[in-house]
Amino acid sequence: MKTILLVDDETRMLDLLCLYLAPYDFNCLKAESGKKAISLLEIEEAIDIVILDIMMPDMDGWKTCQKIREFSKVPIIMLTAMGETVDVIKGLKYGADDYITKPFHEAELLARIEALLRRSKNSNEKNLVFNGLEWNKGSFELRYQNKLIQVTPKEFELIGLFLKNPQKVFSRDHLLSTIWSQKFHIDDRTVDSHIRNLREKLRNEGFPIDQHLSTVWGIGYKWVN
């Protein structure tokens, strides 16, 4: 079962969307503003798709979309009013994935949701985003502000572990047994070397790594958000 987050300032539209989607075994969450949507996304990890109205007071759909993209790659469908021309370039810039025009047929909505879920299923293979830093297991890529950072396998696994466990301290021993398949004994200094190389590469790309990957004296390393 998939979870859909519906965002619209009009309660009537939220109810209508829910009504459409309920029979198809979707779990619907509602938000009446961009802000609420973002709060929900931040605490609730299991949202599979967002349907976002463009015309909203305070924070409009585009702005909301942009905000969401700062921390998540969840698929987003923009809801446009009849007559609004869809600005595709704008959409690309803000990171929207698809559009649907009000009023719409139930079938069209369903089709677009299904299509997007299918698409995102392929590309969303364990993907972490943090402050413009993007870690993608499937493609083995680490990017900062969309720029590729060349990292070695060990460095890649290291930063992945940290991003998946913010605030958590890892001892060198723990890192060795998690990332190194612990064949024989490997020196603690080796971890330090890899951490150093990782820090240097990120620093060179402008990412404020020293604010996030910190050394806990006498214990190990940890990532702080």
The residue ranges that bind a copy of itself (CB under 8 A) are: 1, 11, 25, 27, 29-32, 35-36, 39-40, 43-46, 85-86, 88-89, 91-92, 97-99, 105, 107-108, 111, 115, 119, 122-123, 125, 136, 138-141, 152-153, 165, 167-169, 216-219, 222
**Residue 127 binds which one of DNA, a copy of itself, none, with CB within 5 to 8 A depending on kind?**
none
Name residue, tokens 């723990």. 174
> Measured from the CB atom, is 92 or 138 closer to DNA?
138
**Residue 185 binds which one of DNA, a copy of itself, none, with CB within 5 to 8 A depending on kind?**
DNA
Q: How far is the CB of 222 from a copy of itself (least distance, A)?
A: 7
> Measured from the CB atom, is 12 or 185 closer to DNA?
185
Output the six-digit token pair for 24. 């198809």
Q: How far is the CB of 136 from DNA (least distance, A)?
A: 16
Q: How far is the CB of 33 from a copy of itself (least distance, A)?
A: 10
> Measured from the CB atom, is 92 or 219 closer to DNA?
219
**Residue 215 binds which one of DNA, a copy of itself, none, with CB within 5 to 8 A depending on kind?**
DNA
Binding residues for DNA, per CB under 7 A? 150, 152-155, 172, 180, 185-190, 192-196, 199, 215-220
Q: CA 219 → CA 95, 168, 174, distances in Å?
A: 40, 11, 11
Label each residue of the chain as H, E or C: CEEEEEECCCHHHHHHHHHHHHHHCEEEEEECCHHHHHHHHHHCCCCCEEEEECCCCCCCHHHHHHHHHCCCCCCEEEEEECCCCCCHHHHHHHCCCEEEEECCCHHHHHHHHHHHHHHHHHHCCCEEEECCEEEECCCCEEEECCEEECCCHHHHHHHHHHHHCCCCEEEHHHHHHHHCCCCCCCCHHHHHHHHHHHHHHHHHCCCCHHHHEEEECCCEEEECC
Q: How far is the CB of 161 from DNA (least distance, A)?
A: 14
Name residue, tokens 């829910």. 18
> Measured from the CB atom, is 32 or 60 closer to a copy of itself?
32
**Residue 189 binds which one of a copy of itself, DNA, none, with CB within 5 to 8 A depending on kind?**
DNA
